């Protein structure tokens, strides 16, 4: 009976040892799976971070491009405005010069007319004086 009990104990001990080995193997597999899952999550997080960085860089580049385009447009508008103002100034100068020429011509005509009136008046006076002398 002792021998039978010993065999049972030995068999129970073997079974317990087998269960312990299986449990340890299962824990090892679970640990490996957990480690692999953690590595995969880390890899995915790194990929996501890299994608996010690319998106941010593209957004920065786009913003810089748009800013440069806006500055270019502003500069072009400023140049156009300067050209328009220069053209207005030139037109105003031209009109001013034309007015000055008209005024000068008017004054010259008035002066000639005045001279002609004085000459005619002088002629009349001379004719009258001669007439009076003849009488």
- Residue 67's pLDDT is 98
Instruction: Give residue for tokens 């080995």.
Output: 21
Write the DSSP symbol of residue 1: -
Distance CA 57, CA 37 (A): 30
- Residue 106's pLDDT is 97
- Residue 6's pLDDT is 52
pLDDT tens for each residue of 36-71:
999 999 999 999 999 999 999 999 999 999 999 999
Distance CA 71, CA 78 (A): 10
Instruction: Give residue for tokens 């312990």.
Output: 20
- Residue 12's pLDDT is 79
Distance CA 63, CA 58 (A): 8
DSSP character string of 36-69: HHHHHHHHHHHHHHHHHHHHHHHHHHHHHHHHHH
**Residue 23, CA distances (Å) to 10, 16, 32, 65, 104 in order:** 19, 10, 14, 62, 119
Supply the pTM of this predicted model. Answer: 0.44
pLDDT tens digit at each of 135 positions of the chain: 445 445 567 877 888 899 999 999 999 999 999 999 999 999 999 999 999 999 999 999 999 999 999 999 999 999 999 999 999 999 999 999 999 999 999 999 999 999 999 999 999 999 988 888 887
The CA angle 96-102-106, to the nearest 5 degrees, is: 145
């Amino acid at each position: 009976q002792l021998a039978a009990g010993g065999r049972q104990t030995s068999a129970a001990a073997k079974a317990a040892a087998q269960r312990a080995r299986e449990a340890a193997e299962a824990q090892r597999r679970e640990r490996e799976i957990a480690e692999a899952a953690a590595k995969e999550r880390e890899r995915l997080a790194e990929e996501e971070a890299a994608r996010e960085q690319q998106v941010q860089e593209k957004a920065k580049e786009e913003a810089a491009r748009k800013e440069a385009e806006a500055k270019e447009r502003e500069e072009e508008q400023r140049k156009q405005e300067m050209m328009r103002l220069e053209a207005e100034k030139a037109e105003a100068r031209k009109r001013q010069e034309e007015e000055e020429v008209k005024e000068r011509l008017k004054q010259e005509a008035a002066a000639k007319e005045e001279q002609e009136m004085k000459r005619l008046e002088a002629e009349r006076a001379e004719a009258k004086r001669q007439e009076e002398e003849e009488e």
